[in-house]
């Protein structure tokens, strides 16, 4: 199975007038990390700590069209087992998995319809927090041309768009809105870091996690209790 991803840098809030090499290179590196983490998770049902640890495949910069704003990235499978797992998931399953995962990190609701993609997401639920954390950090860097040049960035599988980065998604990642009214909701804390005093919670067993921090500063003893 040969798969090609396409990264497009184009006009956003400002007209496209050349992609700054610094912002563009960091953005491409971040998107490479996003692809490696999400593809590895979809194939092997495992969250890796570092993108180069992805096994059984690699993503390779392909030849772009002359005068194009697109960068082609090819998925190259390097072992037989990974090839079988990828073929079993299928192109549609991989697409649905990635769209659901990446859109969820940006607060964009997506209906997951592919059965195999659903099974993969469910298998990763226990590791979901770590994966979302790493993807969110990479997405901030992927938005550098959006933040600094006013451009828009889109990631596609073939000709089918997976996710777009623009001013709205940048605001979602960087902006914290404090409401004047409070609301009581029932959640489950899925992770709490005793060192930083921050954590993540979920609203249902199959929902994406959300980061949180206590309203008051906690002492070391209180952080330890929370973590336990």
- Name the burial class of residue 195, with classes exposed (0-12), middle (13-18) and buried (19+) by CB atoms within 10 angstroms of its CB: exposed
Residues 107 and 36 in one domain: yes
52, pLDDT greater than 70? no
pLDDT of residue 53: 66
Q: Is 182 within the bounds of a domain? A: no
Tokens of 95: 């697409």
Weakest mean pLDDT among 126-130, 162-166, 178-182, 189-193: 126-130
d(CA 34, CA 26): 12
pLDDT of residue 110: 86
With cut-offs at 50, 70 and 90, classify the pLDDT of residue 126.
low
Structural domains in the chain (count): 2
d(CA 78, CA 124): 23
67, pLDDT greater than 60? no
d(CA 7, CA 4): 10
Do residues 125 and 7 make contact, with C-beta atoms less than 8 angstroms apart?
no
Using one digit for the tens of pLDDT, what is the confidence trace for 149-172?
999 999 999 999 999 999 999 999
**165, β-bridge pairs:** 153
- Greatest alpha-carbon span in the chain: 60
31, pLDDT greater than 90? yes
Q: Are strands 57-61 and 151-157 parallel, antiparallel or unpaired?
A: unpaired
Residues 164 and 92 in one domain: yes
Do residues 212 and 201 make contact, with C-beta atoms less than 8 angstroms apart?
yes
124-136: average pLDDT? 76
Cα–Cα–Cα angle for 228, 177, 24, rounded to 5 degrees: 95
pLDDT of residue 151: 94
Q: Is 100 within the bounds of a domain? A: yes
- Name the burial class of residue 200, with classes exposed (0-12), middle (13-18) and buried (19+) by CB atoms within 10 angstroms of its CB: buried
Residues 110 and 195 in one domain: no
With cut-offs at 50, 70 and 90, classify the pLDDT of residue 225.
confident
Residues 143 and 216 in one domain: no
Containing domain of residue 220, as a range?
Answer: 188-227
Phi and psi at 123, nearest 5°, equal -70, -25
Question: HSE of 87 in the Cβ direction (CA atoms, 13 Å)?
Answer: 9
With cut-offs at 50, 70 and 90, classify the pLDDT of residue 64.
low
208-218: average pLDDT? 80
d(CA 104, CA 215): 25
Residue count of the chain: 228
Q: Is 179 within the bounds of a domain? A: no
């Amino acid at each position: 199975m040969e798969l090609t991803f396409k990264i497009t840098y184009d006009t956003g809030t400002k007209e496209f007038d050349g992609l700054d090499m610094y912002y563009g290179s960091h953005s491409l590196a971040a998107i490479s990390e996003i692809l490696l983490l999400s593809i590895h998770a979809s194939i092997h049902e495992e969250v890796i700590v570092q993108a180069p640890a992805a096994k059984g495949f690699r993503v390779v910069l392909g030849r772009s069209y002359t005068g194009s704003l697109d960068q082609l990235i090819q998925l190259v499978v390097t072992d037989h087992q990974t090839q079988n797992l990828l073929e079993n998931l299928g192109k549609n399953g991989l697409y649905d998995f990635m769209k659901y995962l990446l859109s969820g990190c940006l607060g964009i609701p997506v209906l997951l319809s592919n059965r195999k993609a659903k099974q993969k997401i469910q298998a990763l639920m226990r590791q979901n927090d770590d994966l979302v954390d790493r993807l969110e950090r990479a997405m901030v860097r992927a938005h550098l041309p959006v933040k600094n040049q006013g451009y828009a960035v889109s990631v596609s599988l073939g000709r089918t768009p997976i996710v777009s980065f623009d001013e709205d998604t940048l605001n979602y990642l960087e902006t914290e809105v404090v409401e004047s009214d409070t609301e009581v909701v029932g959640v489950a804390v899925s992770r709490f870091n005793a060192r930083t005093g921050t954590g993540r919670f979920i609203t249902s067993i199959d929902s994406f996690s959300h980061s949180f921090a206590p309203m008051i500063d906690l002492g070391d003893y209180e952080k330890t209790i929370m973590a336990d």
